[in-house]
Structure 1
Amino acid sequence: MALTDTQKDLMRDTWYEVTLDIKANGEAFYLALFAEHPNFIDYFEKFRGKKLEDLKGSNKLISHAVLAMKNISELIAALDDVEALVGVMHEIVDSHYPRNIVYSHYVKTFDVLLAVLGQALGDQWTPEVKESWSTAFTILLSVSEARLATLETQGEEGVQE
């Protein structure tokens, strides 16, 4: 499975629109993620023990949300370079692995992100755009799953790039 040039262009164009209000869209993503999966809050040390309503508008949440959105921007920038795309996803998986983030977490996260993208894009969220993002997420999930298998087999200290 691979993305077509048209799908990549749709992703770039729609991601640009999302980044025009990166703080609000990033915050909306995390609030939706934590609303749908409240136990995810505890995976974030700085949010542990907080209630969803306490996180709304918090500088810590917005700061982390912007960082996550920048990671997505890196993935978007690497759409034409498979090696770079895999490298960015490996970095994300590697940084989350010590916190016991497993494959099912990535699936749930991408599902919420897909929904939030749809909300943020409104009328621009066409079936073609949704299919483009869904295809990309399927690819990234397979990269994540393979990386997690490597980390689990070799241990996080023993993995060499």
Structure 2
Amino acid sequence: MGCAISGSGLRPRTQEKERAGLKEDAPSSLSPNQIQLIKESWRVIEEDIARVGIIMFVRLFETHPECKDVFFLFRDVEDLERLRTSRELRAHGLRVMSFIEKSVSRLDQLQRLHTLALDLGRSHYRYNAPPKYFGYVGAEFICAVQPILQDKWTPEVEQAWKALFAYVTWTMTQGFLEEERNSQLQTTSRDRPDKRNTAI
């Protein structure tokens, strides 16, 4: 299952930067031509949406087995064939593909796309799925769709999808870090003694 792009070009932020709360600059926005290329290629991809979701996650677990740690249902599954036929994996793959579909439909409404990705990043904090894994999904998606698009897959199409995933990954990371900070603030305020009830 070799894919030249696997793990490259869509690098997630380092854990050290996440923990320090440092923000990288937002990726540059997509050009109108890139948006058009994504929409055109998506029309072909969505015809095989369930299969792409399964291929994407089987590849993810094969190339980055540590990712299974954040998926309770798949944590102990070693047999990739069992994963390919798993109803749960199919359902999760469809949820991710649904997010990608929503992202594509919001390419002309950047604020709505931003809100969607930010909310997804926040929910990943609650799922205990750290940002270091976010970029892997984009890379595996790209590998999964190349054979489907065949000769329609061009360097320009690849760059357009990379740009979309770079933006989504960056925005999700901001949402994750925001939720992490809020959670830490709530914990700190709960741990702080209430001075009104302290004997003088």
Q: Flag whether TM exceeds 0.5 (same fold).
A: yes
Larger Rg: 2
CA contact (8 A) 2:119 2:172 kept: no
Matched residue, 1:6: 33
Identity of aligned residues (%): 25
1:9-39 superposed Cα distances (whole Å, 9 cap, x missing partner): 1101111211101111111111111111112
Matched residue, 1:15: 42
Shift of residue 73, structure 1, vs aligned partner: 0.4
Counterpart residue type for residue 109 of structure 1: V
- 2:76 paired with 1:49: yes
Shift of residue 157, structure 1, vs aligned partner: 9.1
The whole-number CA distance in structure 2 between the counterparts of 1:116 and 1:157 is 40
Match of 1:62 among 82, 85, 90: 90
Q: Which runs of 5+ in 1 are unaligned?
A: none
The whole-number CA distance in structure 1 between the counterparts of 2:73 and 2:184 is 23
The whole-number CA distance in structure 2 between the counterparts of 1:79 and 1:156 is 33
CA contact (8 A) 1:7 1:132 kept: yes
Matched residue, 1:74: 102
Matched residue, 1:26: 53
The whole-number CA distance in structure 1 between the counterparts of 2:41 and 2:185 is 37
CA contact (8 A) 1:33 1:109 kept: yes
Q: Which runs of 5+ in 2 are unaligned?
A: 1-27, 187-200
Match of 1:118 among 146, 153, 156: 146
Shift of residue 151, structure 1, vs aligned partner: 1.8
1:77-134 superposed Cα distances (whole Å, 9 cap, x missing partner): 1101111101111222122212322221112222222222223322111011011111
The whole-number CA distance in structure 1 between the counterparts of 2:81 and 2:185 is 38
Shift in alpha-carbon separation, 1:10–1:157, aligned structure 2, 3 A:
farther
Shift of residue 64, structure 1, vs aligned partner: 1.6
Which moves more between the two structures, 16-25 or 143-152? 143-152
Match of 1:140 among 168, 172, 193: 168
Give the TM-score, by structure 1 length. Answer: 0.89
Counterpart residue type for residue 4 of structure 1: S
SS state at 1:62 partner? helix
Shift of residue 72, structure 1, vs aligned partner: 0.7
Match of 1:150 among 174, 178, 183: 178
Structure with greater contact order relative to length (CA < 8 Å, sep ≥ 6):
2
RMSD: 1.8
